[in-house]
Amino acid sequence: MSEFSTKLKRVHELLDQKGLDGVVLFQYRNFAWITCGKDNRVPFATEIGGAPLLITKKGNYAFTNAIEYPRIKEEELQGKDFEFVKFDWTCDKPGEVLKFAKGMKIASDAAMNGFEIIGSDFAKLRYSLTEDEVKRYEKLGGDVSKTISGVAHEIRKGMTEYEIAAQMEYELKLKGIASPVTLVGTDERIRKFRHPIPTSKKLEKYAMLVTCAEKYGLVVAMTRFVHFGKLDAELAKKRDAVAKIDAAMMNATKVGTSASDVLAKGIKTYVEVGFADEWKLHHQGGAIGYATREYTATPSCKETVQENQAFAWNPSITGAKSEDTMIAKKKGYMIITEDKIWPLIEVEIEGKTIKRPDFLEL
């Protein structure tokens, strides 16, 4: 089956389970998922795309106004199995969908007047990636890791966080990669804030670079550190500790394992490395894919690891953090944001050697 056919089959099965005739996809991430990597956004700072899709067991429909129709038809849905429903730009999109689907029992992936919402159930259809998605994800992960590594190697003392962030976003954009999240913290701001939004502060000693980078609708997350000179003993201890926690969580991410059990393994390792309460200061990550986190793992999380599901764990200890994007496979996992030229730390976990990113010393 083609990627598109596989996804349609998942949607049809969900419609049967819910007793529905169809589902409307207003969210841009679901547009990207069902169309195998296409995009219907104009503003990027929105959950709602410019051309909603109606998926039914009898046919698929794209709703577009006069503004969006030419581009969506030519660049996003060319050759795809969608019938276009056009309307004036003065019309209300949800209203046009309701008018078209009168008499049908339909739901929506977003909260819209007149629709039953099915968002969380629909999101689960995205979790297990197809082989084509895995290939796109691997390509994206490699491009992002090489890009951030290149920027990191060019960082110099005295650069502002704004400058570092701008260089990250610029280099990614040259490859057609968007940056829904860019965090840069330097020196004391790394210790004070888990989410250091870039400022005019100048780099003195060390910097943390964080990105959630998106292309084809897929998102990769990664964190890297640059340090001028040798790490002091305290920071080196924290670096080694987060590397071990991250390795333990990656090793525990096995198909069929609950996300809460992976988290429990991470919390146990926090205790073992001497930083028992640090996990309480920030979430530890979770599933990733068509959102910066499809869900965040908590002690009560009911989700289980699926085959070909992506994860980004991000354990942190004040002043240090470890984060990459990985995909769970039947026989282990693969890290898609690993960079061969980046310095790595070797961690022993349950008889295995797992490599995690070191600080880049300049």
Instruction: Give the CA count within 13 Å in the CB-facing half-sphere of 36.
Output: 17
Q: Which of 105, 99, 81, 101 is nearest to 16 (CA)?
A: 105
β-pair partners for 86 = 64
> What angle is formed at CA 288 by the lines to CA 287 and CA 289, rounded to 5 degrees?
130
Supply the Cα-derived Rg of the chain in whole angstroms.
Answer: 22
332-335/326-329 β-pairing:
antiparallel
Domains parsed from the chain with CATH numbers:
3-126 (3.40.350.10), 131-361 (3.90.230.10)
302 Cβ partners below 8 Å, 6+ apart?
Answer: 258, 260
209 Cβ partners below 8 Å, 6+ apart?
Answer: 148, 151, 152, 164, 168, 183, 184, 223, 224, 225, 226
How far from the centroid of its chain's Cα atoms is residue 49's Cα? 18
* 3-state class (DSSP) for residue 90: coil
Instruction: Name the burial class of residue 19, with classes exposed (0-12), middle (13-18) and buried (19+) by CB atoms within 10 angstroms of its CB.
Output: exposed
Instruction: Name the burial class of residue 30, with classes exposed (0-12), middle (13-18) and buried (19+) by CB atoms within 10 angstroms of its CB.
Output: buried
Instruction: Evaluate whether 150 touches 169 at the Cβ level (below 8 Å).
Output: no
Q: Tell me: the pLDDT tens digits for 256-270?
A: 999 999 999 999 999
* 3-state class (DSSP) for residue 338: coil
Question: Could you say which residues of the chain have pLDDT below 50?
Answer: none
Q: What is the reported pLDDT for 182?
A: 98
Instruction: Evaluate whether 324 touches 289 at the Cβ level (below 8 Å).
Output: no
**Residue 66 identity (one-letter amino acid):** A
Instruction: Evaluate whether 41 touches 28 at the Cβ level (below 8 Å).
Output: yes
Q: What is the reported pLDDT for 80?
A: 87
What distance in Å separates the CA atoms of residue 349 and residue 248, rounded to the nearest whole number? Answer: 6
What distance in Å separates the CA atoms of residue 175 and residue 193, rounded to the nearest whole number? Answer: 30
* 3-state class (DSSP) for residue 103: coil
